[in-house]
Amino acid sequence: MVKIGAHVSPGNVVAEAQARGADIVQVFLGNPQSWSAPTFSHAGGAAGMKQALLDAGIDAYVHSPYLINIPTTNNKVRIPSRKALQQTVDAAFEIGAKGVVVHGGHVPKEDDPELGFANWKKAVDQLDMKVPVFIENTAGGERAMARYLEAIAKLWDQVGHTDIGFCFDTCHAWAGGMDLADAVEKIKAITGRIDLVHANDSKDDAGSGRDRHDNIGKGNIDLDSLMHAIKAANAPVITETPGDADEQAADIALLRARLG
């Protein structure tokens, strides 16, 4: 059976998972809007968190900070982005995480996207992947590295020689203009893999470029289309949906019922 869970607070990760009926969790380690080094708010620090997850039989994934933009040509962002990604990978290793998710990023509007793909190659070649790293497709940006299938193909031309993985976000795909009827199949044809699914409905129309998640079955994505894409991915599923534990538990229960 596919493991299903949610993005939760890391301070008491097992209790957060149990409140949602989650098999797996995703967490931030620290402030996602900061360049600060990862922190461990769990009792006992990284070791305490790792042991708690092991004792509960819950797999964890770490989402890297939102500020990270690996492909940018802006040195003031690209250099700290590489440092932050490595720090996140190192911290994820300390808690025994199964992987780190990082957004594909973009280049400034005045720059050639080819520079961004090359910057990704340089970064991945220098990255010590103590745990797997999954590049996530993004919802917006004409010069994004992982919004359109054509861009993902160019990105994989640069990073496919490594063991880099892929995280498929359903809301991002919908907002980015992908057809969920065959998006997963087309991505797998490029990357050879999908390692994690972010199962999110969307508050906006297809192709909007807007990254606004909604609860499963409550947004603008047809539920059957959404479930088709998730099933086709055949990977662990994390919800990043609005609301409290009860609302996210309902999302997980719906996904579990539909996925079987």
Q: Which domain holds residue 13?
A: 4-259
In the chain, the number of structural domains is 1
pLDDT score for 142: 86
Region 192-209 average pLDDT: 98
pLDDT score for 233: 98
Model-level pTM? Answer: 0.97
Region 176-202 average pLDDT: 98
Region 165-193 average pLDDT: 98
Look at residues 136, 161, 147, 156 and name the one whose alpha carbon lies nearest to residue 61.
Answer: 136
pLDDT at residue 179 tops 90: yes
- How does the average pLDDT of the chain come out, rounded? 97
Where helices occur in the chain by DSSP H, the ranges are 13-20, 45-56, 75-94, 113-126, 149-159, 170-175, 183-191, 223-233, 245-259
Give the whole-number percent of the chain exceeding pLDDT 90. 98
Which pLDDT tens digit goes with each residue over 232-256?
999 999 999 999 999 999 999 999 9
Which pLDDT tens digit goes with each residue over 81-122?
999 999 999 999 999 999 999 999 999 988 999 999 999 999
Half-sphere exposure of 80 (CA within 13 A, CB side): 12
pLDDT score for 241: 98
Which pLDDT tens digit goes with each residue over 121-156?
999 999 999 999 999 999 998 899 999 999 999 999
Look at residues 249, 134, 112 and name the one whose alpha carbon lies nearest to residue 196.
Answer: 134
Please tell me the distance from the alpha carbon of residue 147 to that of residue 154, in angstroms, as a whole number.
11
pLDDT score for 1: 87
User: Where residue 174 sits, what CATH number does that domain have?
Assistant: 3.20.20.150
Which pLDDT tens digit goes with each residue over 29-68?
999 999 999 999 999 999 999 999 999 999 999 999 999 9
